[in-house]
Amino acid sequence: MNRPIITLRSTEGTGSTYTTRKNRRNTPDRLELMKFDPVLRRRVKFRETR
């Protein structure tokens, strides 16, 4: 499967998560995105968890 479903977890330790898909061929490293954390009510980095 080319586009597996992955979980993005907040780096601030709040436990907030997002689920998304990624293309393994284009993005072989861990995905890291700025997303909104509803607990902190601001944008923080979310990192892919395995």
Q: What is the CATH number of the domain that holds 17?
A: 2.20.28.120
Domain that holds residue 15: 5-49
Looking at residue 2, its pLDDT comes to: 84
The total number of structural domains that make up the chain:
1
Looking at residue 1, its pLDDT comes to: 67
Looking at residue 50, its pLDDT comes to: 80
Handedness of CA 10, 44, 39, 19 (dihedral sign): negative
Each of the 50 residues of the chain gets a pLDDT tens digit; together they read: 689 999 999 999 999 999 999 999 999 999 999 999 999 999 999 999 98
pTM score, whole prediction: 0.88
Rg (CA), the chain: 11
The CB-side HSE value for 25 (13 A sphere, CA atoms) comes to 3
Looking at residue 27, its pLDDT comes to: 93
